Structure 1
Amino acid sequence: MTAVVVTGLGVAAPNGLGIDTYWKSVLAGRHGIGELTGFDSTSYPARLAGRIEDFDAAEHLPGRLLAQTDVSTRYALVATDWALADAGLGTAPEELADYDMGVATSTAQGGFDFTHREFRKLWTQGPKFVSVYESFAWFYAVNTGQISIRNVMRGPGSAVVAGQAGGLDALGNARRAVRRGTALMVAGGVDSALDPWGWASQLAGGGISTVPDPTRAYLPFDVDASGHVPGEGGALLVLEDERSAAERGAPRIHGRIAGHASTFDPPPGSGRPPGLRRAAELALADAGLTPGDIDVVFADASGLPEQDLAEARAIAGIFGPRGVPVTAPKALTGRLHAGGGPLDVVTALLSIRDGVVPMTPHTTRVPDAYGLDLVLHEPRSLPVGAALVLARGRHGFNSAVVVTGANH
């Protein structure tokens, strides 16, 4: 079976732009959570978010793209540029034929900021002032389309909408495409909905912490957990057929996407268990690994006690009580929706590279009933050969990805 390797990483996260800055922030425990800016949020019950600072899209993208893109698409395009550069490729790579390259992305929210800006024009100025790009700039598939157009990637394209689980499913789709013969896929996810309408929509969905302290608002698996902090950004990765990557002289292989699976929870009241454990077990089987082969689990970490307990039971059910180190560095960025899973995969690959598991920041007291070996207070140095990444979306989506080192 074709080995699918990761040759490029691109990160746009609240605590760092680019993999080097992001990784240093993670290891140092530097978060990117702060009070909302850009509009008056004083009347909202929650005002904290993981925000990307110091990102000027005009420094990275041509003006023609700025006119037609939402902020989330700009993050996706720039993260793709960085991932391709990391893979030793440029924009519109010439090393591979256009139909040998494809794109698979996920977003949970679409182009909120762009479309609501155009709505304001419609309501206050009239329809002739609405941008023609409104026809697609908001759409869930736009990131796949814009990345493929900018980089002349005419191979398989897909877009996934599955909440926080969607980003991992996009990687799974890309892996399948490579296994079916596509030499290279750009895959991952980003989200951004921090405008007034987007923020109101997220609040209406529930689960957001109203604690005003950035270091206490999002405490996954803690006795004081009260919800999560939303964030913006995510990650794009370059996935390749291992042989094709070697033939073109890829400068590095970060690791392998060794396994993937997705499941859906049964209906409430059915008496059947949630599907997260089954997704993890299927991903392990897909990778040809056993629980004993996994060195760390990157948790979904919803920050809601009931959901944290359900995830803890799933992990302990697979690995045994405190049977594997577990971490949730996403508490530094907030939950990035479709961008969160791919960012965790990047973090897992960096953990494999450097032999260190990042801590779960701010969490200090984990209930004994959870049965978790949660990495707390500081990073934990240990050899990491394989990692399991988990994600759950609203209304029952579950996804799991297994990543391993290049020689695992």
Structure 2
Amino acid sequence: CFRYINAVSFYTKIDMYHLFVYIFFSHCHEYKVLGFDCEWVTVGGKRRPVALLQLSSQKGLCALFRLCNLQQIPKGLRDLLEDDKVIKLGVAPQDDAHKLAFDYGVGVASTFDLRYLAALVGQKPEGLAKMAKSLLNVQLDKNWRLSCSDWEAKVLNEKQLQYAANDALVAVKIFDKLVKKLEPTSFWKSSKLNFDNIQERLEPFFDVRFKEGFLNNCASIERSKAAVVAGKKSKIKPLQTRSISTRSKALYDNCNLQAPDGELLCTIDAKKAQWYVDQSLGEIISNTPLTVRLNFEPSGRAVGDVGRYYQNPKENRCVVCGRRDPLSRKNVVPREYRKHFPVVMKSHTSHDVLLLCPECHQLSNIYDLKMRTKLAEQCNAPFTKEESAVKYIELPELKQVKSAARALLQ
């Protein structure tokens, strides 16, 4: 059985809470991750407030905070949990974070489900015990009598302490194992992990609940590329995403629109430029690029940074990765929010729309869901099922199994 390292249980000594929170902050100075888990008691089918909070650092310190003995979470511990620079690791950590928010009013920031990382590096995303066995050769004790034991007892026994501490510590060890496979050529320099790169890569999945298929196909694409380079034909079928419609032609024509004195007002598309000519509101003064000069004084001119933005030619490429094809439009403000705006703010202007490739568009949707969820909780305004719909990845093999099952039922 896996033994925890330096596990510490605290009861009512608040000073000790502050001391070990300080140690955790020091441990997270460079390697900003903490194993994160919670335990609670269920009585008569109803969950009681979280009784135990487990945190573990990469250096092997695991602390068990007995919240059931406190009226509120101490400020130092609250600051640690709310620090968005420190990643809280686990399997379904968002569920525990939600319980802490409900029970103690603390907002746990930057929770990360280890199953996302497993999927990104080509490992099977499983539960904590199964990943501990397959990746670390560690057998966790998941006896239901332990998980459902009395976590509010005056004194926790040795088996409870070991069970609770191991869950948090193993989460960090699994992260250590998987993150080295993510992009070793770019993440490692002089044998030192570049944590800024890790956070940038994983950030789209922070505070997002794991769902089967709720991943882009980056991992599959990378594995396929590696197989081709090695001279092998990959037998893995790429994961299929429900298609994001892409543009058949360029969005930006970058035609110039000038004021009567020749000052550049903005760039517009060819159709709009031709409209000014057809309405006798301007004349073409150049065909390369197409330039139309107005014969009336416009209501406004290009002023400041906003004006310069409209004057600059815009490239038909993904604003994130620079890819030129295929591309799709991305509304910066989602429609479900825009529909509540005043009429004057409902019309799209060019800076409200960006071009993204399908892969970056899908990552952007993950960010959107994260922001929607945060706003829904902050404003007590949950969005509808239709508004929260997410495009999921479809596994071809699973689709065949489901089809066969339906055929048998008929």
Question: Normalised by the shorter chain, which TM-score bucket?
Answer: under 0.3
Provide the TM-score with structure 1 as the length reference.
0.24
| TM-score of the pair, normalised by structure 2 | 0.24
Higher relative contact order (CA closer than 8 Å, sequence separation 6+): 1
Q: Which structure would you say has the larger Rg? A: 2
